[in-house]
Structure 1
Amino acid sequence: MQCSICHKSDRPMYCSHCMSSSPRLLLKLKIDLLVLRETNSHLKSRVEDILEYGLSQIAGKELESKSANVEGDILGRRLQKLDSLILRKKNNRVRYRISQLNNRIYEKKCKVKDLHSELQLPSKIALNEEKLKSTRENQELTISEGRQQLMQIRKVLLRSQLSKIRSLVEWFVIRKRESYEFPYTLAFQPIISLRNVYKLPSSVVWGSISTMSRYLKLFAEILFFTLPHGELVAPYAPELELEMSAKTTGENSNDENTIVDHLTKIFINIVQISRHLNLISKDPIDLAWMLDQNDLDTLFYNMTMRLETKSKPVFYHWTYPQILSIVSEALQLSSVYATSPVSRQTLTGTKTSNNDRWYVVR
């Protein structure tokens, strides 16, 4: 084929007839292709023969043709070597697995052996339980010994307290007399009664209050008990008559309030000590009812002689103003005594005749 401009040939062009018939073009290529196909078929049959021979050697079979086949021998040897390597790898893998199982079996044997040895010896739990049991027994023994010692100390302390209380009763000469108005005496003085206190001169009232307060303080010290109200201070007795005669009505009323306050505090101290000695119930009780049934002197005497006092339970607690009101009612300062000048003069001690004076009572 030529160019239309330079008229030079770029590549040759042939017609279909020339291509099919000319020996210089496609015929030679066809012949070469046929030869190549024949050669490939021959090589294929040769390779198949070599593979069959090599595989037969691996399998241990004998072929009918006994012609020498060098390539087949080489392939057979190499295939045998490959099989041996595969078998060796597989054997190594199996051997490693067997070693692992042997190690696990050995560990389990060791564990079983240890468990058998632990079963033969006392277990740690049993040892701990025995140790705890022995410790508990020692603690219980120590506690029991401590309780016994405490009981002995308590008995000794109780005997000592009872001895001191008897000595205190003898020291203060607490007596019960055959008298309706003042049946009890303390240190040769009448223990004041809320109903009959107006019958006593002030010096005797204050002396009785002071002695009762001193006794309560010593009694509480013996019992190791803290009183709600400490020892009460009373006026000096010899100067009391002169002071009372010089005071006005308003000042006398203040003294009456002071007496009520002191008697209220003594009443509270007596109730608390009686509760401490289990002579009165520790639950809330009706103090008004108890004071109506047992006057202040009777409560004081029962406390000193450790006699039980009947009480009536209530559902509320008392306050100091309420107790003060109860004592005031018992003294009748707000009603009877306030309207009776004679009684007020007797209570405040303005009567100075010898008939109103108290002497030593036997």
Structure 2
Amino acid sequence: MALKCCTCHRQSKVMYCSHCINTSPRLLLRYKMELYQVTAAREELRAQVDEILRDAMNGDEQPSDVLGKHLAMLRKTHLKRRTNKIRSKLQQLQEVVQVKRERVRTLKAQMNQPNPRVAHSVETDEKIAQFRSSQQKLTMLQRVLESSKALKFQALAHLFLIRQREHPEFPFTISFQPIVNVQNLCHLPQNVVECSLRSMWDFLLLAGRVLLIELPLQKPAKDVLDSLTGIVLNLLVFLQSLELVPQKFCGDRGYLRSLLRNYDVDRLFYYMVMNRDIELLDTGELHSAVNYDVCHAELQAMFQGSSELSVLNKSIDDKWFLVG
């Protein structure tokens, strides 16, 4: 149907109804058919491409088309590249293994060759083995012995009830008695001093037997100063054996004087029992060697005169010096 202008009567547009547009072979129906054909062809080509790609990835069959052949060739090239890398790594590892094998072979040859410098016989080897076995057993026995001595020493200290307390003059006690010190010795009754010295001597003698230490003095003296001298000399041996002070500290008079001034007898005794390190400054000066007379003289000097030895308090009742 054509539309005409009412003035000039010219045809301007052509108009069709919807039925004719959809059914007429000369209008949209032809284009629809062509569209359906193009879509079908595209789906068929897509299926072919998918099949070619699937066959090329699987590699089970030899492809016949060009695209499949190219994809198969690309896959083979990739596989060859990976294979070459693996072969190169294997070759490097084989070279490393070969070098190590040569090294092992050389070492075995050196081990099998007799050493001209050291020609051990069978008897010598057996003696060496026995010596090593005995040395190991000796080491084990030494460890057991040290452990046993430490346990017995701790039990001995617990038996004598050696403790520390808060007291300005006598901060340490043994068997419920104050451990005497030189600075405040005159403040204790004679009986308490003698009992304290006797307990200290008993402990040192038993500790020497437990620790297998040979003491220079084995019997306490009746005089207080002589008894203290023996205790100090024995303490020096204990401190040296337990490695609480260096050996030169125990053999020099200057260090002995510093030791008594800084720690006194009671603190030295307590530190030895508790296995505490004793700090002293190295004066760098050499003095005379330590012996009984030197130790006695140093203790005598700390008393500030022998007259104070007779000023021991005998009027105070002894029971006030029992501590808990």
- TM-score using structure 2 length: 0.58
Question: What's the offset of the Cα at 1:150?
Answer: 1.0
Which residue is 2:315 aligned to? 352
Mapping of 1:19-168 within 5 angstroms?
A: 132-168=120-156
Mapping of 1:161-180 within 5 angstroms?
A: 161-180=149-168
CA distance in 2, matches of 1:282, 1:138: 40
CA distance in 2, matches of 1:233, 1:328: 15
Is the counterpart of residue 275 in structure 1 residue 233 in structure 2? no
8 Å contact from structure 2 (residues 181, 266) kept in 1: yes
The residue identity in structure 2 corresponding to 1:156 is V
Which residue is 2:274 aligned to? 305
**Which SS does the other structure have where 1:154 is aligned?**
helix
Cα distance per residue 1:41-94 (max 9 Å; x no partner): xxxxxxxxxxxxxxxxxxxxxxxxxxxxxxxxxxxxxxxxxxxxxxxxxxxxxx
8 Å contact from structure 1 (residues 290, 310) kept in 2: no
**Which SS does the other structure have where 1:198 is aligned?**
helix
Which residue is 2:54 aligned to? none
Question: What's the offset of the Cα at 1:130?
Answer: 7.8
**Which SS does the other structure have where 2:220 is aligned?**
coil
- TM-score using structure 1 length: 0.52
8 Å contact from structure 1 (residues 201, 357) kept in 2: no
- The gaps in structure 2 that reach 5 residues or longer are 1-113
8 Å contact from structure 2 (residues 178, 321) kept in 1: no
Mapping of 1:286-301 within 5 angstroms?
A: 286-301=255-270
Change (3 A) 1:228 1:321: same
CA distance in 2, matches of 1:275, 1:291: 15
The residue identity in structure 1 corresponding to 2:229 is T
Cα distance per residue 1:81-134 (max 9 Å; x no partner): xxxxxxxxxxxxxxxxxxxxxxxxxxxxxxxxxxxxxxxxxxxxx799886254
Change (3 A) 1:358 1:232: farther
Number of residue pairs matched? 204
Is the counterpart of residue 326 in structure 1 residue 270 in structure 2? no
Which residue is 2:323 aligned to? 361
Is the counterpart of residue 220 in structure 1 residue 203 in structure 2? no
Question: What's the offset of the Cα at 1:359?
Answer: 4.0
Q: Mean Cα displacement is larger for which, 314-323 or 165-174?
A: 314-323
8 Å contact from structure 1 (residues 175, 186) kept in 2: yes
* Percent identity of equivalent pairs: 27
Question: What's the offset of the Cα at 1:306?
Answer: 1.2
Change (3 A) 1:127 1:276: closer
